[in-house]
Amino acid sequence: MANKLIKQMGLPNSIANIFTARNIITAKDALSLTEFELMEQLDVGMAEVKSAMAHISEVVCPPCQTALLLMEQRVRDERSAGHLPTRLRGLDEALCGGLPFGVVTELVGPAGIGKTQFCLKLSLLASLPANCGGLDGRVIYIDVESKFSSRRLIQIGIENFPEIFLKKGMAQEMAGRIVILRPTSLSEFTESLHHVQVSLLQKQVKLLIIDSMAALVLGEHDCGASRQQVLGWHVSFIKSLAEFSRIPIVVTNQVRSQTGDEPLTFSFQARSHSIKKEDRASYDSHLVAALGINWAHAVTIRLVLEARSGQRFIKLAKSPISPPLAFPFNITSSGLVLLDDDGIEMKGSEINTIHCQGQKALFNSEW
Amino acid sequence: MEVGMLPISASKRGKLLAAGYTSLRSISRASASQLATDIEVSEDEACEILKYASQTSALDRSIGNSNTSNLYGGQTAWTMLNEEKFNTRITTSCVDLDNILGGGITCKEVTELGGVPGIGKTQIGIQLAVNVQIPLEYGGLGGKAIYIDTEGSFMVERVLQIAEACIEDMPEYSHHFHNNVQDCEVKMHPNSILENIFYFRVCSYTEQIALVNYLDKFIEEHKDVKIIIIDSVTFHFRQDFDDMALRTRLLNEMALKLMKLARKFCLAVVLLNQVTTKYIEGSYQLTLALGDSWSHSCTNRIILFWNGDERHAYIDKSPSLKSASAAYSVTTRGIRNSNSSCKRIKMV
């Protein structure tokens, strides 16, 4: 709506023509100016400017819906109410049915924790036929780090759904529904995002996975400021993709170690620093998500995968519907498996920290 | 007072000056037809100019006359004090937080709430949109809410949860407000709470500005709106914006318009903001986004942060409240006291 032409808004011709003559073509142009600037530029009186701006604003502003209407719409229209079940019972319950459609879900965790494993499983689930609880759709998998393994995909499939994958030809069909893109640079990635946008409209795509977002951006830019700007565009684009095509988007993020030994605090918290320091010293490593705080604000659901004393946990660090829960899990030949469906409710900021302790124990796990 | 102050187009202003009408007095002495011939406009337009001129000079005179207590549009501090007594507040459902806020989020003011991702900004926003509807009988406002979602994080399922819990806890709220327990039989249905939340999904900053412009008309039609929540004010202004001067100007203009709405319709405006890192005194620290000049725009500023294992809210800026912090928690039932007895009920 922002780029809607002023000419087409049903303003009286006399004033609409003045806007056009002064090269104020779209609503965006007009709304970026103050009333006084418009008075000067258009050379008309205050009253005219005010009424024209009120009209333009009314046309451009999005429609109003009551929350009740939204609710009814969700219930009626299963497509937009939908969730992609992760088949991890505890996690699905906490999230009211799985990863919700229309929002961006982020997986963040240290290397080798199981992010890609989780993505592989999700892409299988989305491609399964509806009668097996899948979404019966296509999957677009943007694989930046070349970690996608078809063999592992089929293995997970056979372990979880032997009735489908052992049937002749079915494995081929399932795997055929998953399209892998391998952009090597940020510009290529941007280009493929545009292609994705088009194919989302045409084909039955039910899931988009980007593994990993961090690798793309970190590989390209060292300079902090430009990184944020580059990311800014992608953030809004990916969010709007999710929203308008009503599919879940899963994005993975890496970790890096915090450069300073202090956690980030607000200036008024300075008093407590000395106590905090001792706390932090006892940690083996202090990890933070690689993409910064701007990115973290943009994702709707954040799942942290971490390891504490040799045990892996998946934590619901940010979610508008679920309490902060942590579930212990293992990686087995059938993929990610929860050890406990009840989950442990985390107290306080613990939910956001990313631990990576007992790495050795991790690599000894089953496969 | 000069001709330059008249709300007329630049070319007419130029014509007036060229014809020698430099002061308002000289204009008001002229007749419409005389003015029309002098500056070569139609008589209607001349009439309009005369109307503006007399309005402006009336305003001018009242400012000049400083003895009277009622200057144009002014109010004495005493009347303001009396009015403030009737200022209603919207409870946050967290008693500790209400206490430091003097009873809740104030109407007629713009309050900014900011904090790190996952601290519960959206949760507080939804809670307020529900709480504003607590009926008068229970000490609430019985109003409606406008929820402006820029990030797409508004979840109706969650609103329903909070609304249901709010109806169950309704008798409790009357305790907070009046100490005498009234047994009033006002039963609300969660659906009616949902129905009274007007939801706008904004997809660009242009739409955000347009919507804020349009709100005046919208609230005129829905007079019982008592709170506007923007979640978050930051998102679109943070992405894809190179011209920082333009951004600051647009933001300030928007804040002014919101402040005007708050006063005109006696409603609360709550702006949710994100955080960013800033290099201060040799180390990186967290601070609310949108920059320094934005931080002047809001009347109250509340920062949400982690203090050890508890979520805390800190009053960073307020003209009437002392800076203090209080703990709160986000539960299945919504925002509650951090030592609240209501345990999380497992969702099955």
pLDDT, tens digit, for every residue of A250-268? 999 988 876 555 566 777 7
- Nearest residue to B137 via CA among B98, B170, B100, B99: B170
Taking an 8 Å cut-off on Cβ atoms, the answer to whether B118 and A300 are in contact is no
Q: For residues B292 and B300, give the distance between their C-alpha atoms in angstroms, rounded to a whole number.
A: 15
Query: Cβ–Cβ contacts within 10 Å for residue A175, how many?
Result: 16
B90 and B48 inside one domain? no
Higher pLDDT: A57 or B25? It is A57
Please name the residues in contact with B331: beta carbons below 8 A apart, sequence gap of 6 or more: A323, B340, B342, B344
B141 and B44 inside one domain? no
Query: What are the two backbone dihedrals, phi and then psi, of residue A241, each rounded to the nearest 5 degrees?
Result: -55, -50
Q: Which residues of B touch A321 (CB under 8 A)?
A: 155, 157-158, 161
Q: Which residue has the tokens 């900014």?
A: B112
B152 and B13 inside one domain? no
Vertex B131: Cα angle to B128 and B134 (nearest 5):
160
B255 and B312 inside one domain? yes
Question: What is the band of B198 on the pLDDT scale with cuts at 50, 70, 90?
Answer: very high
Which domain CATH number covers B267?
A: 3.40.50.300
Torsion A260-A264-A266-A271 (CA) sign:
negative
6-35 in chain A: CB under 8 A from chain B:
27-28, 31-32, 34
**Tens digits of per-residue pLDDT, A117-148?**
999 999 988 888 877 777 888 899 999 888 88
B185 domain-assigned: yes
A211 contacts A141 by C-beta, under 8 angstroms: yes
B95 and B53 inside one domain? no
By the CB < 8 Å criterion, does B348 face chain A? yes
3-state secondary structure of B93: coil
Taking an 8 Å cut-off on Cβ atoms, the answer to whether A298 and B151 are in contact is yes
**Size of the A and B interface in Cβ pairs below 8 Å:** 220
Vertex B212: Cα angle to B208 and B214 (nearest 5):
115
Q: What domain count does chain B have?
A: 2
**Per the structure block, which two tokens stand in for B7?**
């709300």
Q: Which residues of B touch A232 (CB under 8 A)?
A: 238-241
Vertex A172: Cα angle to A166 and A177 (nearest 5):
125
State residue B285's pLDDT score.
Answer: 81
- Closest CB from B195, B287, B309 relative to A66: B195
- Say whether pLDDT at A38 is over 80: yes
Higher pLDDT: A252 or A324? It is A252
State residue B65's pLDDT score.
Answer: 53
Instruction: State the smallest CA–CA distance between residue A65 and chain B in angstroms.
Output: 5
- Say whether pLDDT at A202 is over 80: no
Bridge partners of residue A316, in order along the sequence: A303
B74 domain-assigned: no
B166 and B39 inside one domain? no
B59 and B94 inside one domain? no
Q: Which residues of A touch B326 (CB under 8 A)?
A: none
B49 domain-assigned: yes
Taking an 8 Å cut-off on Cβ atoms, the answer to whether B344 and A345 are in contact is yes
Vertex B317: Cα angle to B314 and B322 (nearest 5):
70
The domain boundary residue, chosen from B33, B64, B95: B64
Taking an 8 Å cut-off on Cβ atoms, the answer to whether A68 and B191 are in contact is yes
302-331 in chain A: CB under 8 A from chain B:
302, 317-318, 320-321, 323
B187 and B40 inside one domain? no
By the CB < 8 Å criterion, does A65 face chain B? yes
Q: Which contacts of B260-265 are long-range, i.e. CB under 8 A and separated by 24 or more positions?
A: B261/B215, B261/B216, B261/B219, B261/B228, B262/B107, B262/B108, B262/B109, B262/B110, B262/B228, B263/B108, B264/B216, B265/B219, B265/B223, B265/B225
Question: What is the band of A278 on the pLDDT scale with cuts at 50, 70, 90?
Answer: very low
Over residues A273-292, mean pLDDT:
56
Q: Which residues of A touch B285 (CB under 8 A)?
A: 264-267
Q: For residues B213 and A58, give the distance between their C-alpha atoms in angstroms, rounded to a whole number.
A: 8
**Per the structure block, which two tokens stand in for A284?**
């083996």
Residue type at B69 in one-letter notation: S
B72 domain-assigned: no
Give the least confident one: A73-77, A94-98, B138-142, B270-274.
Answer: A73-77
Question: What is the band of B346 on the pLDDT scale with cuts at 50, 70, 90?
Answer: very low
Query: What are the two backbone dihedrals, phi and then psi, of residue A26, each rounded to the nearest 5 degrees?
Result: -105, 165
Higher pLDDT: A201 or A264? It is A201
Q: For residues B166 and B171, give the distance between their C-alpha atoms in angstroms, rounded to a whole number.
A: 9
Whether residue B204 is preceded by a cis peptide bond, meaning omega within 30 degrees of 0, is no
By the CB < 8 Å criterion, does A266 face chain B? yes
Question: What is the band of A274 on the pLDDT scale with cuts at 50, 70, 90?
Answer: very low
**What average pLDDT is seen over chain B?**
83
B345 domain-assigned: no
The domain boundary residue, chosen from B15, B36, B64: B64
Bridge partners of residue A328, in order along the sequence: A313
- Say whether pLDDT at B177 is over 80: no
Taking an 8 Å cut-off on Cβ atoms, the answer to whether B309 and A70 are in contact is no
Over residues A220-245, mean pLDDT:
72
Share of residues in chain A with pLDDT > 70 (%):
84
B69 domain-assigned: no
- Which domain does B43 fall in, by range? 3-64
Q: For residues B48 and B43, give the distance between their C-alpha atoms in angstroms, rounded to a whole number.
A: 9
By the CB < 8 Å criterion, does B322 face chain A? no
Which domain CATH number covers B40?
A: 1.10.150.20
B143 domain-assigned: yes
Mutant choice from B214, B225, B243 vs A, greatest count of A C-beta within 10 A? B214
- Nearest residue to A45 via CA among B17, B32, B38, B10: B10
Question: What is the band of B70 on the pLDDT scale with cuts at 50, 70, 90?
Answer: low
State residue B292's pLDDT score.
Answer: 84
Taking an 8 Å cut-off on Cβ atoms, the answer to whether B314 and A65 are in contact is no
Question: What is the band of B186 on the pLDDT scale with cuts at 50, 70, 90?
Answer: low
B137 and B177 inside one domain? yes
Distance, CA of A181 to chain centre: 18
B31 and B179 inside one domain? no
Taking an 8 Å cut-off on Cβ atoms, the answer to whether B122 and A268 are in contact is no
Instruction: State the smallest CA–CA distance between residue A283 and chain B in angstroms.
Output: 15
B108 and B254 inside one domain? yes
B200: left (phi over 0), alpha (psi -120 to 50) or beta: beta
277-296 in chain B: CB under 8 A from chain A:
277, 280, 283-287
Bridge partners of residue B334, in order along the sequence: B331
Instruction: State the smallest CA–CA distance between residue A175 and chain B in angstroms.
Output: 32
- Closest CB from A47, A93, A318 relative to B348: A93
B55 and B94 inside one domain? no
